[in-house]
Amino acid sequence: MTTIQSIAGQDEQHPDVALVQRVREGDVSAYDSLVRKYERQIFRIAQHITQNREDAEDVMQDAFLKAYEKLEQFQGNSKFYTWLVRIAVNESLMRLRKRRTGKMVSIDEDLETEEGTVPRDLADWAPDPEQNYTQSELGQILEKTIKGLPPGFKVVFELRDVQGLSTEDTAEALGLSIPAVKSRLLRARLQLRERLSRYFHKKPGSRQVGPKVARAES
Amino acid sequence: MTCTEFIALLDDIIDDSVAAETKAEVEKHMHKCGHCEVVFNTTRKTIEIYRSHQIYDLPNDLRERLHAAIMARCKKGC
pLDDT digit string, tens, across residues A75-121: 888 899 999 999 999 999 999 888 876 666 777 665 656 566 788 88
Arithmetic mean of pLDDT, A32-39: 96
Q: Which residues of B touch A35 (CB under 8 A)?
A: 67, 70-71
Q: How many other C-beta atoms can be found within 10 angstroms of the C-beta atom of residue A55?
A: 20
Kindly state the DSSP code that residue A201 receives in the 8-state scheme.
Answer: B
Q: Do B50 and A125 touch (CB under 8 A)?
A: no
> Which amino acid appears at position A214 of this protein?
A
Given a cut of 70, is residue A208 above it in pLDDT? no
Is B28 at the interface with chain A, CB within 8 A?
no
The secondary structure element, H or E, covering residue B8 is: helix B3-8
Residue A128's closest chain B neighbor by CA? B45
Assign domain A129-200 to a CATH class. Answer: mainly alpha
Give the lowest-confidence range in A118-122, A135-139, A186-190: A118-122
The secondary structure element, H or E, covering residue B69 is: helix B60-75
pLDDT digit string, tens, across residues A36-45: 999 999 999 9
Q: How many other C-beta atoms can be found within 10 angstroms of the C-beta atom of residue A185?
A: 22
Q: Indicate where chain A has its CATH 1.10.1740.10 domain(s).
A: 15-99
Look at residue A114 in the predicted model and tell me its pLDDT: 59
Considering only the beta carbons, identify the residue of B7, B55, B73 that sits closest to A119. Answer: B7
Look at residue A202 in the predicted model and tell me its pLDDT: 81
- The ipTM is 0.93
**What are the residues whose beta carbons fall under 8 Å from the beta carbon of A23, sequence distance 6 or more?**
A30, A31, A34, A68, A71
Assign domain A15-99 to a CATH class. Answer: mainly alpha
Q: Indicate where chain A has its CATH 1.10.10.10 domain(s).
A: 129-200
Q: Which domain holds residue B52?
A: 3-75
Is B61 at the interface with chain A, CB within 8 A?
no
Per the structure, the count of domains in chain B is 1
